[in-house]
Amino acid sequence: MRELKLITKGYAMTIEETLLQSFGPLLSISQLANILDRSPEGLRISLRNSSEWATRINQTRLKIGRRVYFRTSEIAEVLSEDNEIDTRSSV
């Protein structure tokens, strides 16, 4: 079990590093939609829900003027948490 945690932790860092290299510290709504394989409008609609997933994504939100961005490092954490849950449920 300990090895699995180390592998998962290493994988989370890989997600963060990859996203930071590709997009930088902030993601636009269209970039985040691309990562999640959704349309930007579909993502906007999903983020208006009061689901746990939408709440976690919205917590990473940062508004600069009229533009909305999402913190890349925190998005990577959310994605890695989802990956851990998927891995545990499939075992």
Question: Which percentage of the chain shows pLDDT scores above 70?
Answer: 75
* 3-class secondary-structure state, position 15: helix
Q: 13 φ, ψ to 5°?
A: -65, -35
* 3-class secondary-structure state, position 36: coil
Question: Which pTM value belongs to this model?
Answer: 0.76
Q: What is the pLDDT of residues 57-75, one digit of tens each?
A: 999 999 999 999 999 999 9
Q: What is the pLDDT of residues 21-39, one digit of tens each?
A: 999 999 999 999 999 999 9
